[in-house]
Amino acid sequence: MPDAPLLSAESLTKFYGPRLGCADVSFDLHEGEVLAVVGESGSGKSTLLSLLSTELAPSRGAVRYRMRDGSVRDLNALTEAERRFLLRTDWGFVRQDAREGLRMGVSAGANVGERLMAVGDRHYGRIRATALDWLGRVEIEAARIDDTPQSFSGGMRQRLQIARNLVTRPRLVFMDEPTSGLDVSVQARLLDLIRGLVAELGLAVVIVTHDLAVARLLSHRIMVMRQGRVIETGLTDQVLDDPREAYTQLLVSSVLAA
């Protein structure tokens, strides 16, 4: 069924002891769609991302994913081997700190090539050629292919992390504040790069960000979270141009006043 969601969250809830991480979050995500999850620190957006990506198990609720063979699986019922295979092949995860998403002690080419080996490619020449192609696509000079990420700038590390994640052409990518901490000019280039690759590859993306400008530029739909709950959701431009909830209005006005 081509119109079936790629990812579905149903009443996702997470407690950390007595403290609420997030509560009753439900949504569908389709292929080619970008969903931004926004809110202040402590709003529950990072907990939600960890639940969706199976890094955390929910206290209640479910996350379902449509596999490449068309079957829909409850992600929390996957074996560890199945979960790891999804993370290495069909999914990507672009971390806020690129050091968490890269192997810092191996070369840039090896960081990209490892993902290709995870999907069964064993031809060294082909792996290196694909790595070179992807370094070029994320604006890293070919001469840097044998350099380690330790010698890269923050923006270059983030671009390398994107190449590492997208080289296997995943269907779903999680992004956690991918431009946070970068200079404004570096942020702008990185956002243009992400937007172009997402459109070219038809990726489904869940992006967590506190930056409404990032949400507006990249996403089709937006979810606003506060104190662990979704308080407003809809098409990105509609929500940001005409927010219904007082909290969303406050977020938007604080950006306009900055």
Tens digit of each residue's pLDDT (9 = 90 or more) over 132-187:
999 999 999 999 999 999 999 999 999 999 999 999 999 999 999 998 888 888 88
pLDDT at position 256 is 58
What ranges make up the beta strands (E) of 17-101?
19-29, 34-38, 60-66, 72-74, 91-94
- Domain boundaries of the chain, sorted by first residue: 7-90+173-257, 104-169
User: Could you give the CA distance from residue 34 to residue 37 in angstroms, rounded to a whole number?
Assistant: 10
Residue 35 token pair? 């969903």
Residue 254 token pair? 């604080």
CA nearest 119: which of 84, 143, 151?
84
Q: Which CATH number is correct for 7-90+173-257, 3.90.1150.10, 3.40.50.300, 3.30.1200.10, 3.40.190.10?
A: 3.40.50.300
Mean pLDDT, the chain, whole residue set: 92
- What are the pLDDT digits (tens) for 12-50? 999 999 899 999 999 999 999 999 999 988 899 999 999
User: Could you give the CA distance from residue 199 to residue 23 in angstroms, rounded to a whole number?
Assistant: 31
87 burial (CB, 10 Å; 0-12 / 13-18 / 19+) is middle
- 88 pLDDT band (50/70/90 cuts)? confident
- In one-letter notation, the amino acid at residue 244 is R
Residues 6+ apart with CB under 8 A from 172: 6, 7, 29, 65, 90, 91, 92, 203, 204, 205, 206
pLDDT at position 180 is 84
Residue 119 token pair? 């999907």
The answer to whether 154 and 98 have CB atoms below 8 angstroms apart is: yes
Tell me what the mean pLDDT of segment 59-77 comes to: 95
